[in-house]
């Protein structure tokens, strides 16, 4: 038997999980503040949900999905991202009919068969949010402002850069694609084989290629930002104005393309230069055609996702230490009949809301105190036969090793 995780998967151990919870708690709090409700969706969908949403010629769909045939012959895929599933749920549950605006957030594990590196896994956690209904640029800005507020709330915003751009829409993008093809065609021989293929299938993806040669050629390519139609340019201008008035610091990066086909108009990325090549911490954008693509009524939408592992890595760097679970009181005991008294005292402490932990099995007092110390306990009760017979218990202050006797009956009510 293999007693290890498959490559690219990892455990989050108890020592680290406090930091995860801190980040998750803040996400929940901030999303609540912005009027978003949590939605929980399955970790898998019919493969078609992702193929139709992400685009069949994207890296994820072409080579990163965990896909298998179910017992009934249907093709199932472990979710590589959250948006497609949320939109599927939006359509399936006719959410558009219940409210003109749906604000949903989710969190959970995503699966992509990538080459694992620090900050890049095959199983990783994302938190994301989707705002469905409005086309208004205020909704783009509101969502981006929320992302920034969340990153501020966990003390990371001063280490991050927010970049925005616009990818245009179905009116201006086709012309832009033609321009791209015209630009890349004479360079086709110098492109990687993937990009040579993309030239015919999805030329926008060439801009996203990680190959050095392709990146050099792509650097001089025409930019979507310079080719927006009037409506898209006006929309982008308004997003910028709202972001400015919300005090969100952003820069414009016309090179953002995003790895998925569903994006239209506003796109954004939050990056850091502290995590090597895994520099993307959060990303998102508008996807006005996706709901319809998945069989719902034409519904504009904008959303984002952030990678938990990268947030955690960055948070550890920015704020080392301080995330251990700490127990307030430890209960040690030595001698006949003391274990039952310890059990009762521990329960009484917890009843009063004091985090307490007892020894199991009664080793030597020395080893019990060692465990108490390790647990981070501020106080330790020591129950001995002699004290117990007098209705007393020793209270040891761990920092100073000073001890005093207190009434065992009154012990749970002490202020710790
Ligand atoms: P990258 O360019 O690093 O591959 P991406 O553009 O594929 O990122 P998205 O699909 O936008 O990423 O997902 C949103 C966020 O999820 C990313 O910004 C990143 O923080 C995180 N993420 C994406 N892929 C992984 C992965 N394999 N392991 C860990 N985190 C990931
Ligand atoms: Mg990727």
CATH of the domain at 368: 3.40.50.800
For 211-235, write each residue's pLDDT tens digit. Answer: 999 999 999 999 999 999 999 999 9
pLDDT in tens, 146-168: 999 999 999 999 999 999 999 99
Residues 394, 287 share a domain: no
Q: Whose CA is nearest to atom 11 of ligand 1?
A: 283
Domain that holds residue 334: 329-413
Closest CA to 345 of 395, 307, 302: 395
Could you tell me the CATH number of the domain that includes residue 24?
Answer: 3.30.930.10
My answer on whether 251 and 288 are in the same domain is yes
On the question of pLDDT at 283 being above 90, the answer is: yes
Residue that finishes a domain, picked among 318, 341, 366: 318
> With pLDDT > 70 as the criterion, what percentage of the chain qualifies?
100
DSSP state for residue 107 in the 8-state scheme: E
Which of the listed residues 266, 296, 318 is the one where a domain comes to its end?
318
- Residue 29's contacts (CB-CB under 8 Å, 6 or more residues apart) are 153
| The pLDDT of residue 210 | 86
Q: Which atom of ligand 1 is nearest to the CA of 311?
A: 20
Distance CA 127, CA 306 (A): 5
**What is the C-alpha separation between 172 and 281, in angstroms, rounded?**
29
| pLDDT tens for each residue of 294-346 | 999 999 999 999 999 999 999 999 999 878 767 789 999 999 999 999 999 99
pTM of the model: 0.92
Q: Is residue 111 part of a domain?
A: yes
Tell which residue, 105, 15, 110, has the closest CA to residue 308.
110
Last residue of a domain, one of 318, 347, 364: 318
Q: Do 154 and 51 share a structural domain?
A: yes
In-domain check, residue 179: no
Q: How far is the CA of 280 from the centre of ligand 1 (A)?
A: 6
Sheet holding 264-271, edge to edge: 37-38, 102-111, 123-132, 301-307, 280-286, 264-271, 161-166, 251-252
In short, whether 124's Cβ falls inside 6 Å of ligand 1 is: yes
Determine if ligand 1 sits within 6 Å of the CB of residue 308: no
User: What is the whole-number distance in angstroms between the Cα of residue 116 and the centre of ligand 1?
Assistant: 12
- Domain count for the chain: 2
Asked if residues 345 and 381 have their Cβ atoms less than 8 Å apart, the reply is yes
> Would residue 324 count as lying in a domain?
no
| 161 and 105 together in one domain | yes
Within this chain, do residues 393 and 357 fall inside the same structural domain, yes or no?
Answer: yes
């Amino acid at each position: 038997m293999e007693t290890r995780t498959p490559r690219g998967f990892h455990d989050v151990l108890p020592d680290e999980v406090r930091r995860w919870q801190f980040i998750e708690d803040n996400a929940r709090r901030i999303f609540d503040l912005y009027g978003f409700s949590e939605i929980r969706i399955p970790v898998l969908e019919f493969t078609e949900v992702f193929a139709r949403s992400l685009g069949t010629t994207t890296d994820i769909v072409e080579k990163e999905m965990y896909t298998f045939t179910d017992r009934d012959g249907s093709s199932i895929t472990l979710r590589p991202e959250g948006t497609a599933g949320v939109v599927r749920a939006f359509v399936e549950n006719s959410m558009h009919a219940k409210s003109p605006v749906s604000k949903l957030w989710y969190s959970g594990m995503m699966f992509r068969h990538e080459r694992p590196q620090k900050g890049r896994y095959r199983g990783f956690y994302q938190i994301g949010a989707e705002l469905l209904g409005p086309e208004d640029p205020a909704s783009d800005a509101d969502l981006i402002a929320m992302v920034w507020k969340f990153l501020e709330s966990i003390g990371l915003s001063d280490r991050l850069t927010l970049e925005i751009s616009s990818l245009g829409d179905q009116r201006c993008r086709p012309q832009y694609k033609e321009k791209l093809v015209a630009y890349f065609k004479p360079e086709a021989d110098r492109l990687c084989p993937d990009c040579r293929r993309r030239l015919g299938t999805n030329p926008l993806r060439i801009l996203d290629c990680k190959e050095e040669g392709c990146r050099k050629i792509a650097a001089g390519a025409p930019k979507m930002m310079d080719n927006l139609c009037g409506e898209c340019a006006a929309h982008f201008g308004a997003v910028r104005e709202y972001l400015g008035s919300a005090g969100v610091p952003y820069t414009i990066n016309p090179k953002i393309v995003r790895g998925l086909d569903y994006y239209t108009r506003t796109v954004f990325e939050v990056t850091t230069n502290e995590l090597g090549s895994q520099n993307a911490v959060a990303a998102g954008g508008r996807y006005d055609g996706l709901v319809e693509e998945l069989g719902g009524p034409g519904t504009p939408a904008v959303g984002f996702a952030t990678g938990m592992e990268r947030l955690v890595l960055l948070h550890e760097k920015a704020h080392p230490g301080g995330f251990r679970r700490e127990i307030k009181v430890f209960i040690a005991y030595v001698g006949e009949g003391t274990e039952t008294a310890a059990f009762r005292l521990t329960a009484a402490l917890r009843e009063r809301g004091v985090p307490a932990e007892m020894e199991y099995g009664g080793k030597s007092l020395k080893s019990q105190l060692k465990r108490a110390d390790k647990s981070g306990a501020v106080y330790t009760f020591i129950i001995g036969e002699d004290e117990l017979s007098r209705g007393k218990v020793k209270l040891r202050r761990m920092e100073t090793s000073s001890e005093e006797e207190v009434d065992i009956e009154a012990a749970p009510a002490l202020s710790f």
